[in-house]
Structure 1
């Protein structure tokens, strides 16, 4: 009983922050280095550009070992193919093949994912020009872009993905998905 009473007494005492004198406050410059996300409308895309031809070279040296020579997958996920498999999955009962060309709604999120997470063994090691190029190459392999395409911050957001309209807004009031950039209240 005494132990329980002591625990209750401790729980009633407000927690106090301790200062250990370690570390520094992060500056705006420090935070900017980590602020690398790209939104569907292209906000956050860095300067640079990349062609399908250059993307093929980068892909072969940085991506093919995991995603296959032409993005077919093995050992990692397939990046190419699957067009129409989302609709056929309902009809034939087979799971859809969710690739860049069959599933992703925005080309900018392809760039964002590659930029933040690839290559798997060295994430964030590709330069912006290389990420634009690999994105262009993968979109080309999926039949979305012609072989002479060059992508940059102004052209990438204008790429219309095949499954752009394949997602529906969840209208439930507790599932609002409004991006908050500054001065957000209630989050």
Structure 2
């Protein structure tokens, strides 16, 4: 048997063993308390969204305190990608470009602010998402964003993406 065929046979044996329902028997499942919030997925349909909520008015104050240094006083100026627009540089800012409002929330919660990622509470992340969405005219100024309302937001650029989530129950893994 050639080396190439031997490697292919070994790979097939390993792959078929990995596909068994029992698995390798390593480790133990984590409890909900052991999984940090930032290691949980928020799906486009809202699965995985935490409790809490926020409004654009609350988000405006949080934005001024924690976001304006990078994204500009009104969200249009930058110097880092402005979340509000369009403007001369960014035709599709974050608040209008993302395909799902849930994805915008998840990104804010995991990655912002740049100097302290994962430091925002769920309520702060909801309020910032509401602020950005309202500033872009996607939702009304008085709308509250929470686990029920956020997945219902129709993002303006949604149809310009390939919808890998179209099949109900699809997951990234």
The alpha-carbon deviation at position 49 of structure 1 amounts to 0.8
- What TM-score, normalized to structure 1? 0.67
Does the 8 Å contact 1:115/1:128 carry over to 2? Answer: yes
Q: TM-score, normalised by structure 2?
A: 0.72
List alignment gaps of at least 5 residues for structure 2: 1-26, 165-169
Provide the residue aligned with 2:171 in structure 1: 179
Query: Highest CA radius of gyration, 1 or 2?
Result: 1
Equivalence for 2:72: 68
Q: State whether structure 2 residue 61 is matched by structure 1 residue 57.
A: yes
- 1:76 Cα deviation from its structure 2 partner: 0.9
Equivalent in the alignment of 2:104: 110
Q: 1:164 to 1:33 in 2, by over 3 A?
A: closer
- Cα offset, 1:75, TM superposition: 2.1
Q: Which runs of 5+ in 1 are unaligned?
A: 1-23, 86-94, 171-177, 182-187
Residues 1:125 and 2:128 aligned together: no
Give the 3 Å change call, closer, same or farther, for CA 65–53 of structure 1 in structure 2.
same
Root-mean-square deviation over aligned CA pairs: 2.4
Runs of 4+ aligned residues of structure 1 deviating over 4 Å after TM superposition are: none
The CA distance in 2 between the partners of 1:148 and 1:107, in whole Å, is 17
Which residue of 1 is the match for residue 18 of structure 2? none
